[in-house]
Amino acid sequence: MSDLHITGLTHSYAPGARILDGLDLTVPGGRLAAVLGPSGCGKTTMLRVVAGFLRPDAGTVELDGRTVTGPGVHLPPERRRIGIVPQEGALFPHLSVARNVAFGLTHRTRAERSRRTEEMLELVGLPGYGPRMPHELSGGQQQRVSLARALAPAPALVLLDEPFNALDSALRAGVRADVRAALRATGATGVLVTHDQQEALSTADLVAVVRSGRVAQCGTPQEVYRRPADPWVAGFVGGAVLLPGTGEGSTARTALGPVPLEVPADGDGGTVVLRPEQLALTAPPSDDTARATVADVSFHGADTLVSVLVPGVDALVQVRATGPVDRRPGDPVGIAVTGTATLHPHRTARER
Ligand SMILES: Nc1ncnc2c1ncn2[C@@H]1O[C@H](COP(=O)(O)OP(=O)(O)OP(=O)(O)O)[C@@H](O)[C@H]1O
């Protein structure tokens, strides 16, 4: 299994506009990391550097203990042992499924090629599909063949560039789970580029949240969701309730009352971050000044999102309840908090 180490990656396409700005990322061998970030933050640029299609201004990429990109080093893409699954599969349309999968299997006998091809097609759930042509496959099947093609030469690393974008949501979940299982079965290290938070959290072992060409936070899905590095990351990886608050030891004083803190803080004023599912609607409190008001109710089937106006909080506070909610806009409510929050002190002018 091959570790991937990316250090200090910096790149500009034009003078003065840094797209990668000292990006660091480590993916332990055999793990799948999701690189998650808004459009234009540099995800694809990073992937192109790792694949060897682009030489960065500075920084190093090490794969399996070997520098493939670095000062004075630039290994060509075909010698990096990297498999790529592009956005829409990009199968060769004039080649059969089997010939697509066997494409990278050079220096092997015909029998070996055909055995490996069938093995890979089985791995991605398409046994016997070898003779078909790409146009005879659905979008999801084409993505599976693309993965089989990437995995066939037993690469050290597989790069997946928003591979589920073209699939409808019903198909996405199934193909995602199969891709993950196939990567695990082969032990390949993977990097999945996506701007879909749900996809990153549900598919990857590690999530690297990228902002303006740098990794703002890298951790397990649970870590980045439960202990976001800052309010921006919190809002980017899911619904977030951001409240002004002040640390008072193990709790923070907020407009929702005292909220237990994940990490104690004293006297620090800042932003308290909770998740909408940590809030519950209760009967309105007798004290008028603490009374919140329902602003909007949106039903999503499995859950309902209720937007609430809370005295002392500028933005609407989101409450996620399981199942339907019997409240209407204008109803007075109370809000109870469960679990712990993170407190992010206001940054000083020097840190900004
Ligand atoms: N070849 C290029 N020449 C000049 N600018 C480029 C080039 N490729 C990308 N850019 C610019 O670099 C920035 C980052 O692009 P990149 O494709 O890496 O972002 P991304 O995070 O993958 O975005 P998306 O999620 O929209 O694909 C964008 O502003 C883009 O316009």
pLDDT at 89: 65
On the question of pLDDT at 185 being above 90, the answer is no
326 and 187 within one domain: no
pLDDT at 177: 85
131 and 177 within one domain: yes
pLDDT at 104: 82
User: What secondary structure, in 3-state letters, does 15-77 show?
Assistant: CCEEEEEEEEEEECCCCEEEEECCCCCCHHHHHHHHHCCCCCCEEEEEECCEEEEECCEECCH
Please compute, for residue 147, the number of CA atoms within 13 A of its CA located in the half-sphere on the CB side.
34
Last-in-domain residue among 206, 231, 256:
231
What residue owns the CA closest to ligand 1's atom 3? 13
pLDDT digits 0-9 by tens, 17-30: 899 999 999 999 99
Largest CA distance in the chain: 81
- Asked if the structure places residue 351 within a domain, the reply is no
12 close to ligand 1 (CB < 6 Angstrom): no
- Asked if the structure places residue 169 within a domain, the reply is yes
302 and 182 within one domain: no
Show the domain range for 256.
239-345
pLDDT at 170: 74
DSSP character at residue 284:
P
- Asked if the structure places residue 285 within a domain, the reply is yes
249 and 198 within one domain: no
> For the domain that residue 124 is a member of, what is the CATH number?
3.40.50.300
pLDDT digits 0-9 by tens, 270-313: 999 999 999 999 998 887 767 899 999 999 888 999 999 998 88
Per-residue pLDDT band at 179 (split at 50, 70, 90): confident
67 and 150 within one domain: yes
pLDDT at 341: 95
pLDDT at 44: 92
Mean pLDDT of 3-26: 94
Last-in-domain residue among 200, 231, 262:
231
Last-in-domain residue among 211, 231, 251:
231
Take residue 331 and report the two structure tokens written for it: 């109803």
- Nearest ligand 1 atom to the CA of 193 is 22
- Asked if the structure places residue 350 within a domain, the reply is no
121 and 12 within one domain: yes
Exposure string (b/e) for 205-228, b if CB count within 10 Å is 16 or more? bbbbbbbebbbbbbbebeebbbbb
Query: In the beta sheet, which residues pair with residue 153?
Result: none
CA 20 – ligand 1 centroid, Å: 10
ipTM score for this prediction: 0.96
- Nearest ligand 1 atom to the CA of 195 is 25
The domain total for the chain is 2
Per-residue pLDDT band at 351 (split at 50, 70, 90): very low
pLDDT digits 0-9 by tens, 107-140: 888 888 889 999 889 888 888 898 999 998 888 8
211 close to ligand 1 (CB < 6 Angstrom): no
pLDDT digits 0-9 by tens, 55-88: 999 999 999 999 999 999 999 998 999 999 888 7
pLDDT digits 0-9 by tens, 220-238: 999 999 999 999 999 999 9
Take residue 255 and report the two structure tokens written for it: 């407009």
Cβ–Cβ < 8 Å for 86, 48: no
191 and 163 within one domain: yes
- Asked if the structure places residue 157 within a domain, the reply is yes
13 close to ligand 1 (CB < 6 Angstrom): yes
127 and 246 within one domain: no
Cβ–Cβ < 8 Å for 162, 195: yes
Per-residue pLDDT band at 349 (split at 50, 70, 90): very low
80 close to ligand 1 (CB < 6 Angstrom): no
219 and 297 within one domain: no
41 and 160 within one domain: yes
160 close to ligand 1 (CB < 6 Angstrom): no
86 and 172 within one domain: yes
Per-residue pLDDT band at 347 (split at 50, 70, 90): low
189 and 309 within one domain: no
pLDDT at 139: 82
What residue owns the CA closest to ligand 1's atom 7? 13
More reliable by pLDDT, 167 or 304:
304
CA 69 – ligand 1 centroid, Å: 20
pLDDT at 352: 42
What residue owns the CA closest to ligand 1's atom 11? 40
> For the domain that residue 323 is a member of, what is the CATH number?
2.40.50.140
pLDDT digits 0-9 by tens, 247-258: 999 999 999 999
On the question of pLDDT at 210 being above 70, the answer is yes
CA 197 – ligand 1 centroid, Å: 19
On the question of pLDDT at 181 being above 60, the answer is yes
